Amino acid sequence: MAKLFGDRWQISSGKPLARNSQAEIFRVIDVRGEYEGEYALKHVSHPLRQERFRREIKAVTTLRHPNVIGIVDDSAFSDVTGDPDKQYLVMPIADGGDLGHSRRIESCKGSLDFTLRIGRQMASAVMAAHDAGILHRDLKPGNVLFMGLGREIWLSDFGLSLIREPAPLTSQNGSSAPGSFMAPELAEGHHLDVPPAADVFSLGKVLYFMFSGGVVLPGEHIAEPQCISVFQQSKRAKLLCALLQQMVCPLANRIKTMPDVTTQLEAIGYGD
């Protein structure tokens, strides 16, 4: 018999949808019948990361936004025994995969309208988070999930989020290493005093990743000729390049708020 979580969530496929050192995600069905169809169950496999996932639950349940993935069931995290089989949360399945998938990268390469559409949805979701006092701090292609085959997305994985004044996210192994899309002010660890502009930086890198067809921009080097060259196809592409140079840059010169980013994304418009 397939494994059952919380006396209701039954794994419907033996192969995980995703797996890393901290968690694994399975397709599940609700044997109680309250929820129809399949859902995604994220099971925390790393005992030192339970607080990180509690933070994710708190962030997502605080937000109500069409581009922030919702949580169907998080009741297991109220358990204080530390039972690993009770450390899970249940979410909708993103049938379209994530932005890091090779098929998505191919479809968005050089497509300004695709990049702008996804960028605007991300900016809207992050702006709602900032308005609620939440910084995401981990914007990257793998956390941009497509609801289906179209271009509607959910922003996911708020596990590194900063919610007002929490304790630092550290473990016996030290702070999580910064990723390729993180702002430089996070390079020494996940500080408590990072401004919203840290998410502006990461969003800029994701926008470059989309338009370039999967190139991870090194550091803050967007002003270098080989990076700028991908934007030479049209006037509107050059406007995006100019915007990204104000996002992927040192904090002192960076756009500080997501509403300012949204305004400039809207100003680029659609179609040549």
| Alpha-carbon span 45 to 25, nearest angstrom | 10
User: Are 140 and 179 contacting, i.e. CB atoms less than 8 angstroms apart?
Assistant: yes
- Cα–Cα dist 73/57, whole Å: 10
Q: Residue 23 pairs with which residues in a beta bridge?
A: 44
The single-letter code of the amino acid at 106 is E
DSSP state of 248: S
Please say whether the beta carbons of 84 and 91 come within 8 A. no
* φ, ψ (nearest 5 deg) of residue 43: -105, 125
Token output for 216: 């991870």
Task: List the beta bridge partners of residue 150.
Answer: none
- 137 a catalytic residue: yes
d(CA 210, CA 118): 9
> How long a stretch of residues is the chain?
272
Partner residues linked to 25 by β-bridges: 18, 42
For residue 243, give the DSSP letter.
H
Of 104, 137, 236, 254, the active-site residue reads 137
b/e for 167-206, b at 16 or more Cβ within 10 A?
eebeeeeeebebbebbbebbeeebeeebebbbbbbbbbbb
Residue with tokens 């098929």: 103
> Which residues are known catalytic residues?
137
